[in-house]
């Protein structure tokens, strides 16, 4: 299993990062501080999570020097027409001079009142993100995308001046997205798995195959689900927790055999689900067949 990957920029990204989607105000500062004090060096947030200020406070409170932490945030859908202002806002809220990785959160521009912004093309947003990355290397160490299916990447790559460093997508045994994974690996784009446990109240934690493998290695089901990604090339993974014991435990990565991985890949055949259904009118499926 790997403990870090190298981005196409040459930067090192720790394999396991703390996820903060759905981490509530009043909880996330502590979670970030606790994770960093206990060995995490990778934190994932987003403007859309509305917790950047607290994440920044947790980072400060940990006492870990900024340059030792890999920090990701994301451009929110309603900010796609004005990435420059959104970048400044994220830097200010996180109270940091730079972001290690800035992602387009969805290839889905939206208006402030939550509707599809059909007059704006996400490809123009990427061009603006590239401009910012090229103009301000001291503020942006890498740029990438999130929730991009193969068809979206195929539209982006032929015109990209900067190949995305990362595609952050939902990945777990019930949502394996093998097509996106293979495509990104061929292009040297790092995959980051969100909702690796299947998000809240996940049936995967009770899954028989997951539990059998967990018992074999004397670890928890969560350790198996997180380690699945650490056993694949060009993968990083973002378990979310606001619970001290789980934050500690989730950092433990084990080696899995090819057979374990094959068994985990079999789960999707009978137990498929997505934790994240954007369901935005006007966007269609975003190229994900089960994301209508
Ligand atoms: P909590 O944050 O209250 O600890 P995902 O990473 O797939 O989004 O999953 C996050 C969900 O899984 C949250 O509800 C989180 O709860 C829970 N969780 C995180 N780590 C563990 C663990 N080791 N065992 C069981 N549940 C966990």
Q: How far is the CA of 8 from the centre of ligand 1 (A)?
A: 30
pLDDT tens sequence across 251-272: 999 999 999 999 999 999 999 9
Q: What are the residues facing 169 on neighbouring strands?
A: 193
pLDDT digit string (tens) for 54-102? Answer: 999 999 999 999 999 999 999 999 999 999 999 999 999 999 999 999 9
CA distance 126 to 155: 11
Chain centre to alpha carbon of residue 134: 23
Q: How far apart are CA 267 and CA 146, in angstroms?
A: 24
Architecture of the domain made up of 4-201+232-252: Alpha-Beta Barrel (3.20)
Return the percent helix, strand and coil in the chain, to nearest 5: 40, 15, 45
- 């942006």: which residue's tokens? 140
Task: Please state the domain extents for the chain.
Answer: 4-201+232-252
Atom of ligand 1 nearest to the CA of 242: 2
Query: How far apart are alpha carbons 152 and 168 in whole angstroms?
Result: 13
Asked if residue 222 has its Cβ within 6 Å of ligand 1, the reply is yes
With a 6 Å cutoff on the Cβ, whether 240 touches ligand 1 is: yes
* C-beta of 274 in contact with ligand 1 (< 6 A): no
User: Could you tell me the two tokens for 24?
Assistant: 């509530």
If you measure from the C-alpha of residue 112 to the centroid of ligand 1, how many angstroms do you get, rounded to a whole number?
Answer: 30
| pTM: predicted TM-score of the whole model, two decimal places | 0.96
Which atom of ligand 1 is closest in space to residue 243's alpha carbon?
4
**CA distance to 115, 126, 203, 276, per residue, from 279 (Å):** 11, 22, 22, 9
Which of 243, 253, 273 best tests ligand 1's pocket when mutated (most atoms within 8 Å of CB)? 243
Element (H, E) at 169: strand 166-170
- Catalytic pick from 40, 49, 152, 194? 49
Q: What residue has token string 């987003």?
A: 46
Atom of ligand 1 nearest to the CA of 200: 14
ipTM of the prediction: 0.98
Q: What is the pLDDT of residues 197-247, one digit of tens each?
A: 999 999 999 999 999 999 999 999 999 999 999 999 999 999 999 999 999
CA distance readout (Å), 226 to 95, 235, 245: 30, 11, 15
Q: Between helices 208-217 and 258-270, what is the axis angle to 10°?
A: 160
The DSSP secondary structure of 86-129, one letter per residue, reads HHHHHHHHHT-S-BSEEEES-S--B-TTSSB-TTS-HHHHHHHH
């Amino acid at each position: 299993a790997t403990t870090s990957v190298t981005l196409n920029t040459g930067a090192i990204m720790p394999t396991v990062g703390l996820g903060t989607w759905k981490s509530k105000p009043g909880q996330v500062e502590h979670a970030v501080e606790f994770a960093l004090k206990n060995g995490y060096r990778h934190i994932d947030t987003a403007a859309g999570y509305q917790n950047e200020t607290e994440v920044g406070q947790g980072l400060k409170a940990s006492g870990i020097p900024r340059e030792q932490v890999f920090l990701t945030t994301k451009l929110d859908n309603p900010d796609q027409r004005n990435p420059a202002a959104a970048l400044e806002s994220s830097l200010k809220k996180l109270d940091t001079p730079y972001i290690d990785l800035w992602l387009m959160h969805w290839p889905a521009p939206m208006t402030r009142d939550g509707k599809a912004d059909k007059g704006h093309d996400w490809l123009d947003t990427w061009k603006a993100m590239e401009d910012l990355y090229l103009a301000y290397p001291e503020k942006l160490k890498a740029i990438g995308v999130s929730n991009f299916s193969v068809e979206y990447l195929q539209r982006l790559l032929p015109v990209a001046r900067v190949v995305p460093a990362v595609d952050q997508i939902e990945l777990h045994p019930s949502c394996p997205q093998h097509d996106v994974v293979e495509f990104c690996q061929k292009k040297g784009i790092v995959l980051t798995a969100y909702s690796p446990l299947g998000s809240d109240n996940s049936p995967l934690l009770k899954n028989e195959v997951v539990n059998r493998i967990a018992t074999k290695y004397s670890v928890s089901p969560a350790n198996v689900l997180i380690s699945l990604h650490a056993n694949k090339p060009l993968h990083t993974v973002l378990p979310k927790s606001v619970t001290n014991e789980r934050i500690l435990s989730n950092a433990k990565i084990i080696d899995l055999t090819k057979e374990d991985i094959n068994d985990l890949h079999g789960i999707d055949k009978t137990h498929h689900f997505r934790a994240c259904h954007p369901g935005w009118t006007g966007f269609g499926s975003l190229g994900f067949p089960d994301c209508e």
